[in-house]
Amino acid sequence: MTAVWVIAGFALRESLRRRVFIVVAVITVAFLGLYGLGAWQAFQEVDDFAFDDRGIEPEAVAGATLLGLGMFGTLFLGTILAVFLTLGAIRGDAERGLLQPVLVRPVSRRTLLLGRFVAAASVCAGYVIVVYLVAMVLTNLAGGWWPDRIVAPALGLAAAVTIIAACALAGSVFLASTANGIAIFMIFGAGLVAGLLGQIGEALGSDTLNTVSDVTSWALPFEALYQDGLAALTADTVGFTKLAVDLGPFGGAQAAGPLLWPWALGYLLLVGLLALRGFTRRDL
Amino acid sequence: MTGLKKTYGAVTALRGVDLEVGEGELFGLLGPNGAGKSTLVKAACGLVRPTEGSVMVVGAPAGSAQANGALGYLAELFRFPDWCRADELLELHQKLSRSAGGAEERAELLALVGLTDAAGRRIGTMSKGMQQRLGLAQALVGDPKLLLLDEPTSALDPAGRRLVRALLERLRDRGVAVLLNSHLLSEVELVCDRVAIIAGGEVVAAGRPDELSRPGGVEVETGGGVRVYEVALREDVPRIVADLVEAGESVYGVRLLRSSLEDAYLEAVANAPTGDGAAAYVPAEVR
* CATH class of the domain whose range is B2-209: alpha beta
* Cβ A73 vs Cβ A258: under 8 Å: no
CA-CA distance, B187 to B139, in Å (whole number)? 19
pLDDT confidence of residue A68: 92
Distance from B263 to chain A by nearest Cα, in Å? 34
B100 touching A (Cβ < 8 Å)? no
pLDDT digits (tens, 9 = 90+) for B55-109: 999 889 999 999 999 999 998 888 899 999 999 999 999 999 999 989 999 999 9
What are the residue ranges spanned by the domains of chain B? Answer: 2-209, 215-258
Average of pLDDT values for A173-181? Answer: 94
Note the helical H segments in A87-176: 91-95, 100-103, 109-143, 151-174
Beta bridge partners of B27: B179, B194
Average of pLDDT values for B220-242? Answer: 87
Q: Nearest Cα to B128, choosing from B163, B80, B94?
A: B80
User: Which chain B residue has its CA at the smallest distance from A4's CA?
Assistant: B96
Q: What is the predicted ipTM?
A: 0.80
Set of chain A residues whose Cβ sits within 8 Å of the Cβ of B80: 98, 101
What is the percent of chain B with per-residue pLDDT over 70, rounded to a whole number? 93
Contact A106 B49 (CB under 8 A): no
Contact B68 A107 (CB under 8 A): yes
Query: Could you tell me which residues of chain A have a Cβ less than 8 Å from any Cβ in chain B?
Result: 2-3, 6-7, 10, 14, 17-18, 96-98, 100-108, 281, 283-284
DSSP helix/strand/coil, A92: helix
Set of chain A residues whose Cβ sits within 8 Å of the Cβ of B84: 14, 17
Q: Which amino acid is at A39?
A: A
* Gyration radius of chain A's alpha carbons: 20
Average of pLDDT values for A239-252? Answer: 75
Lowest mean pLDDT across A198-212, B4-18, B36-50, B66-80: A198-212
Average of pLDDT values for B9-20? Answer: 90
Set of chain A residues whose Cβ sits within 8 Å of the Cβ of B50: none
Contact B42 A283 (CB under 8 A): yes
- Stated as kind and residue range, the H or E segment containing B164 is helix B158-173
pLDDT confidence of residue B275: 53
pLDDT digits (tens, 9 = 90+) for A48-95: 665 556 677 888 888 999 999 999 999 999 999 999 999 999 999 999
DSSP B167-205: HHHHHHHTT-EEEEE-S-HHHHHHH-SEEEEEETTEEEE
B65, B78, B96 ranked by CB distance to A100: nearest: B78
Res. B281: pLDDT tops 60? no
pLDDT confidence of residue B271: 72
pLDDT confidence of residue B286: 36
pLDDT classification of A38: cutoffs 50, 70, 90: very high
Res. B274: pLDDT tops 80? no
